[in-house]
A and B are shown apart, each in its own frame.
Chain A
Amino acid sequence: MGNVKKTPFYEKHLALNGKIIDYNGWLLPVQFPQGLVEEVHDTRKRATIFDVSHMGEVSVEGKDAEAYLQKILVNDVSKLKDNAIIYSPVCYPDGGVVDDILIYRINSENFFLVVNAANTDKDYEWFQENLFGDVRLQNLSPEYAQIALQGPNSKSILQELTDIDLDGMKFYRFQADVSVAGVNSIVSRTGYTGEDGFEVYCKNEGAQALWDAVWEAGEKKELRPAGLGSRDVLRLEASLPLYGHELSREITPLQAGLNRFVALDKPVPFNGQEALQKQKQEGISRKLFGLEMLERSVPREGYPVMAGDEEIGWISSGSYSPTLEKFIAMAFMDPEVAKQEEEVQVLIRKRLYRAKITKMPFYRRD
Chain B
Amino acid sequence: MKYNVIEGLKYTRQHEYARPEDGAAVVGLSDYAQDKLGEIVFVELPDVGAEVEAGKSAAVIESVKAVADLYAPVDGKVTEVNEALLDQPEVINQDPYGEGWVFKVEVKDESQLEKLMDKPTYEEFIIKEEEEEE
* A residues in contact (CB < 8 Å) with B: 30-31, 35-37, 229, 233, 296-298, 300, 319-320, 322, 327, 349
A233 touches B64 (CB 8 A): yes
Q: Which residues of A contact B41 (CB under 8 A)?
A: 298, 320, 327
A36 touches B39 (CB 8 A): yes
Question: Shortest beta-carbon distance, A200 to chain B, in Å?
Answer: 27
A349 touches B44 (CB 8 A): yes
Q: Which residues of B contact A319 (CB under 8 A)?
A: 64
A-B contact pairs, 21 of them (CB 8 A): A31-B38, A35-B39, A36-B38, A36-B39, A36-B65, A37-B39, A37-B64, A229-B64, A229-B65, A233-B64, A296-B42, A296-B86, A297-B42, A298-B42, A298-B67, A319-B64, A320-B41, A320-B64, A327-B41, A327-B42, A349-B60
A351's nearest neighbour on chain B, judged by CB, is B44
A-B contacts besides A31-B38, A320-B42, A327-B41, 18 pairs, CB < 8 Å: A30-B65, A36-B38, A36-B39, A37-B39, A37-B64, A233-B64, A296-B42, A296-B86, A298-B41, A298-B42, A298-B67, A319-B64, A320-B41, A320-B64, A322-B64, A327-B42, A349-B44, A349-B60
B62 is an interface residue with CB less than 8 A from chain A: yes
Q: Which residues of B contact A320 (CB under 8 A)?
A: 41-42, 64
A300 contact from B67, B86, B87, Cβ within 8 A: B67
Among A30, A31, A298, A319, chain B packs the most CB atoms within 10 A around the CB of A298
* B residues in contact (CB < 8 Å) with A: 38-39, 41-42, 44, 60, 62, 64-65, 67, 86-87
Q: Which residues of B contact A229 (CB under 8 A)?
A: 64-65
**Cα-based distance from A300 to B42 in the complex (angstroms):** 12
Q: Which residues of B contact A297 (CB under 8 A)?
A: 42
Q: Which residues of A contact B86 (CB under 8 A)?
A: 296
Question: Shortest beta-carbon distance, A249 to chain B, in Å?
Answer: 26
Q: Which residues of B contact A300 (CB under 8 A)?
A: 67
Q: Which residues of A contact B60 (CB under 8 A)?
A: 349
Among A30, A35, A233, A319, chain B packs the most CB atoms within 10 A around the CB of A35
B62 contact from A30, A37, A298, Cβ within 8 A: A298
Question: Shortest beta-carbon distance, B74 to chain A, in Å?
Answer: 23
**Cα-based distance from A291 to B67 in the complex (angstroms):** 20
Q: Which residues of B contact A322 (CB under 8 A)?
A: 64
**Cα-based distance from A37 to B39 in the complex (angstroms):** 7
Among A30, A35, A300, A320, chain B packs the most CB atoms within 10 A around the CB of A320
